[in-house]
Chain A
């Protein structure tokens, strides 16, 4: 069983590395290669629904990889390259969308829902506690008064 699992895992890992883009670009430096890898992995292929430019075989992804490579060669910054693509393909190409009016819910929605959940939880706990307190002794306000009086009396009696 264990052997099977490791074989499955190994195949998955190997298949992943084979699938990745196989363009061979010559970079001036290792830093440029790293930047290229990061960019093609963080940008989304406009033709595909959920694939980055690095993994996609779509012709447009190939063109964009080449474009990014050329811009890197020209010495443009990561921001310039990202802006270039966003101005043509829109925010869709970003896997990390910018915070705008339309994406507010996307960015802060989870925090808002979490907060609302905590508020609801606190509300329920407080109510439970309140109701269980009254249920425990089951006395009305009058009876509480009487109980106090009785207790005071007995403690005074004890003093004598």
Chain B
């Protein structure tokens, strides 16, 4: 009994060590999205490339897709852009939400850096961003064919993150949609 009591501090230390070690690999700036499993919020916003045209949430349905929230004022978006171009070339369906941005700057960006987006939604006031719970660009939402948000990734997508984390998620959505 006495011997066992002597072990208690060691066990407490072990427990703490496990918790703290796990904490080393957690990113506190990553918030779990409150929207997972919910339909993409309703919106009616102009298309960036053709402001006369209105895009709504109904346009997003039909095929699984990525909805990428970006802006020209966001430096990480510039890093992410070539990766999105590459993904689009490989057949990944990506829609863009241009978040609180200047229209002409955004149009210039797409002309110069190539446009990987199928639909370009212009969210100048950030109202869609607010409904999506966006707190910083870039953020990428994964929606299924029914327009339900299934996953959210905050931060810059690079080749490795895509390969290791995101491609399996996208693939599972595609598999789901093609029985």
Contact = CB atoms under 8 A, between A and B. Distances in A.
Interface string A42-62: 000011010000000001100
A28 B55 CA distance: 36
Nearest to B129: A63
Given A46-B135, A59-B100, A60-B136, A90 B130 contact: no
Interface residues of B, number: 16
B7 interface: no
Given A59-B100, A63-B126, A88 B28 contact: no
Interface of B: 28-29, 31-35, 100, 126, 130-136
Given A63-B126, A88-B133, A46 B31 contact: yes
A49 B29 contact: yes
Nearest to A60: B135
A43 B132 CA distance: 18
Nearest to B31: A92
* Interface-central residue, A59, A60, A67, A86, by most chain B CB under 10 Å: A60
Contact of A63 (B32, B35, B130): B130
Contacts of B136: 47, 60
A137 interface: no
Chief secondary structure at chain B's binding surface: loop
Interface of A: 46-47, 49, 59-60, 63, 67, 86-92
B35 A88 contact: yes
B32 A88 contact: no
A46 B100 CA distance: 17
B135 A86 contact: no
Contact of B133 (A49, A67, A89): A89
A50 to B, nearest CB: 10
B126 A90 contact: no
A52 to B, nearest CB: 14
A88 B131 contact: yes
B135 A87 contact: no
Contacts of A91: 34
Contact of B132 (A49, A67, A88, A92): A88
A94 B145 CA distance: 33
A97 B126 CA distance: 27
Listed residue (B31, B32, B100) with the most chain A CB atoms within 10 angstroms of its CB: B31
Contacts of B100: 59
Contacts of A59: 100
A87 B34 contact: yes
A88 B33 CA distance: 8
Contacts of B32: 90, 92
A46 B133 contact: yes
A46 B33 CA distance: 11
Contacts of B131: 88
B135 A90 contact: no
List 8 tightest A-B contacts by C-beta distance, closest first: A90-B34, A88-B133, A46-B135, A47-B135, A89-B133, A60-B135, A92-B31, A47-B136
A60 B135 CA distance: 6
